[in-house]
């Protein structure tokens, strides 16, 4: 599996990375929720009041003396979050996988192979990572560069906590609260409106190996909100929630719905699936219940989770009504 497809399992299995996130020592003030797909905020920067602030992150308590104005994000998820909470104007550089929003200052910096010298050359006053690869946190710490380690969320509450962390760390607490509130309300509404009486089964494909995700994973929990049964839960080797399935296993399970998270990277579709041995007769293929996801949205745990949930909800409604 390509590294960018694996942040939820290992660093997903490193853009499918697993550990808990921390909560800030400050409390965000929720306001009216924004639309789930609202464009990145261009609101004026928050005032510098409220600093210093201490954030309980994956690397322990991190104290940020003043409002950061030169932020580097080495995580595509956290880049999305920074712009969603209004911290975009404070971001001076993002990693080579950060492709949303388009206005993010993308560079050749890597979150998978961090180069401390190249990072420091950007003169950051805050670096945000989702993995401590090559001990980048300690190496930057030796140079007195504040670093927040916010690992991949394993459940929704952790995703909300990380957004809150970034809000406090950047001086955008109120906006972060709005984003979290909006996400919660959107997800609750989508889950409540989804039909759950058909006991539909599904298969979520990470890549064409094929690797899948079980219900115990972050992505699996999103599907669980819609009452779907995950065929990967019966895989003989759970592999930490990301089992490698055989073509025969999927064919025998014959899922009602297939969700593909390897569309951009691997050009997978209903037609390519039909060419796999034993798959042409699968119910999801015959009934056109193969859903092509946006690879990026399906592998990140930031504000666009609601977009993924909406796609899943639409697919469930179609399968139920069809």
Tokens of 139: 């190496």
pTM score, two decimals? Answer: 0.85
Q: At what angle do helices 156-170 and 173-193 cross, to 10 degrees?
A: 160
How high is the mean pLDDT of the chain? 88
Residues in Cβ contact with 142 at an 8 Å cutoff, skipping those fewer than 6 apart: none
Give residue 198's pLDDT. Answer: 81
By percentage, how much of the chain surpasses pLDDT 90?
A: 82
Instruction: Let me know the angle formed at the C-alpha of 75 by 266 and 108, rounded to the nearest 5 degrees.
Output: 75
Question: Does the structure show a pLDDT above 50 at 43?
Answer: no
**Coil, helix or strand at residue 57:** strand
Tokens of 140: 């930057």
Q: How far is the C-alpha of 300 from the C-alpha of 81, rounded, in Å?
A: 10
Question: Does the structure show a pLDDT above 70 at 45?
Answer: no
- Render pLDDT for 283-297 as a digit per residue (tens, 0 to 9): 999 999 999 999 999
- Render pLDDT for 145-185 as a digit per residue (tens, 0 to 9): 999 999 999 999 999 999 999 999 999 999 999 999 999 99
Question: Does the structure show a pLDDT above 50 at 224?
Answer: yes
CA distances from 286 to 212, 249, 263, 268, 281 (A): 21, 18, 19, 16, 6
């Amino acid at each position: 599996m390509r590294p960018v497809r694996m942040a939820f399992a290992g660093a997903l299995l490193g853009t499918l990375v697993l550990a808990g996130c921390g909560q800030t020592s400050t409390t965000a003030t929720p306001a009216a929720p924004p639309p789930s797909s609202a464009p990145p905020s261009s609101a004026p920067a928050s005032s510098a009041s409220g600093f210093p602030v201490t954030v309980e992150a994956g690397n322990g308590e991190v104290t940020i003396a003043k409002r950061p104005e030169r932020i580097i994000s080495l995580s595509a998820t956290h880049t999305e979050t920074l712009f969603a909470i209004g911290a975009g104007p404070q971001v001076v550089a993002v990693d080579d996988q950060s492709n949303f929003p388009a206005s993010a200052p993308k560079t050749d910096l890597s979150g998978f192979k961090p180069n401390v010298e190249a990072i420091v050359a950007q003169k950051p006053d805050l670096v945000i990572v989702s993995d401590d690869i090559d001990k980048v946190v300690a190496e930057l710490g030796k140079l007195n560069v504040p670093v927040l380690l916010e690992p991949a969320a394993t459940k929704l509450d952790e995703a909300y906590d990380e957004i809150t962390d970034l809000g406090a760390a950047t001086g955008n607490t109120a906006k972060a609260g709005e984003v979290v509130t909006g996400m919660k309300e959107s997800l609750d509404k989508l889950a409540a409106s989804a039909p759950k009486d058909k006991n539909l089964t599904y298969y979520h494909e990470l890549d064409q190996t094929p690797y899948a995700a079980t219900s115990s994973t972050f992505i699996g929990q999103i599907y669980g909100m819609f009452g779907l049964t995950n065929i990967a839960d019966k895989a003989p080797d759970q592999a930490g929630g990301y089992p490698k399935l055989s073509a025969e296993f999927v064919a025998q399970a014959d899922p009602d719905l297939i969700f593909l998270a390897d569309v951009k990277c691997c050009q997978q579709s209903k037609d390519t699936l039909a060419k796999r041995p034993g798959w042409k007769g699968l119910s999801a293929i015959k009934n056109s219940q193969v859903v092509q996801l946006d690879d990026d949205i399906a592998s990140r745990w930031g504000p666009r989770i609601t977009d993924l949930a909406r796609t899943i909800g639409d697919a469930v409604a179609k399968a139920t009504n069809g």
